[in-house]
């Protein structure tokens, strides 16, 4: 399996979720299964079925997180020598040239991407257009609604 790029913040969030699942969720599910078993007949026990289903979800998520973290390539953008260029982990302020609308994005791995949090995937069209460019550069992004031009206002590495 190839390396999965993650920012330090993204890797930390996944580690915290893994700890929550292993030390809080897993024991709670085990307890719920034990309580449901104590009620007797398991063939028509909805609580038991729900607890087993939850256990399957928790164990699958634990496996996913452990696999992701074992293959993660954690990149700290503040340690990169990017010389003002947009690189993985960089925070970029861009301005759409037609509308003048400004927006700030951080370029992150596919697993961390969340447009509501202004985290865009490194494989997204916008990020691919920005990578390697510097402040003052104009990039063109092929959007579904047609091409859009953006000027890079500021690049930082937090």
Per the model's pLDDT, the better-predicted residue between 2 and 142 turns out to be 142
- Do 151 and 87 share a structural domain? yes
Question: What number is the average pLDDT over the span 86-94?
Answer: 94
Q: Report, in angstroms and rounded to the nearest whole number, the Rg of the chain calculated over CA atoms.
A: 22
Range of the domain at 48: 4-74
Question: What number is the average pLDDT over the span 117-133?
Answer: 94
| Cβ neighbours for 130, distance < 8 A, ≥ 6 positions apart | 86, 92, 94, 107, 139, 150, 152
Residue 122: which CATH number? 3.10.50.30
Question: What number is the average pLDDT over the span 69-77?
Answer: 91
Q: How far apart are CA 99 and CA 150, in angstroms?
A: 10
pLDDT tens digit string along 14-45? Answer: 999 999 999 999 999 999 989 888 887 767 77
Residue 46: which CATH number? 1.10.287.180
Question: What number is the average pLDDT over the span 122-126?
Answer: 92
Give the pLDDT of residue 71: 94
- State yes or no: pLDDT of 1 exceeds 60: no
- Do 110 and 56 share a structural domain? no
Per the model's pLDDT, the better-predicted residue between 4 and 42 turns out to be 4
How many domains does the structure of the chain reveal?
2
Joined tokens for residue 30? 């085990």
- Do 43 and 27 share a structural domain? yes
């Amino acid at each position: 399996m190839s390396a999965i790029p993650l920012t330090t913040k993204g890797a930390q969030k996944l580690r915290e979720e893994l700890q929550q699942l292993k030390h809080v969720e897993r024991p709670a599910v085990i307890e719920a299964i034990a309580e449901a078993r104590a009620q007797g007949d398991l063939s028509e026990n909805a609580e038991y079925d729900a607890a087993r289903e939850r256990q399957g979800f928790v164990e699958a998520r634990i496996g996913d997180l452990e696999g992701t973290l074992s293959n993660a390539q954690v990149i700290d953008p503040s340690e990169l020598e990017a010389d003002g260029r947009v690189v993985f982990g960089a925070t970029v302020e861009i301005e759409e040239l037609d509308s003048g609308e400004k927006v700030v994005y951080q370029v992150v791995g596919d697993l961390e991407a969340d447009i509501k949090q202004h985290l865009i995937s490194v494989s997204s069209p916008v990020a691919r257009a920005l990578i390697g460019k510097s402040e003052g550069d104009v990039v063109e992004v092929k959007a579904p609604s047609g091409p859009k031009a953006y000027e890079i206002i500021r690049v930082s590495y937090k």
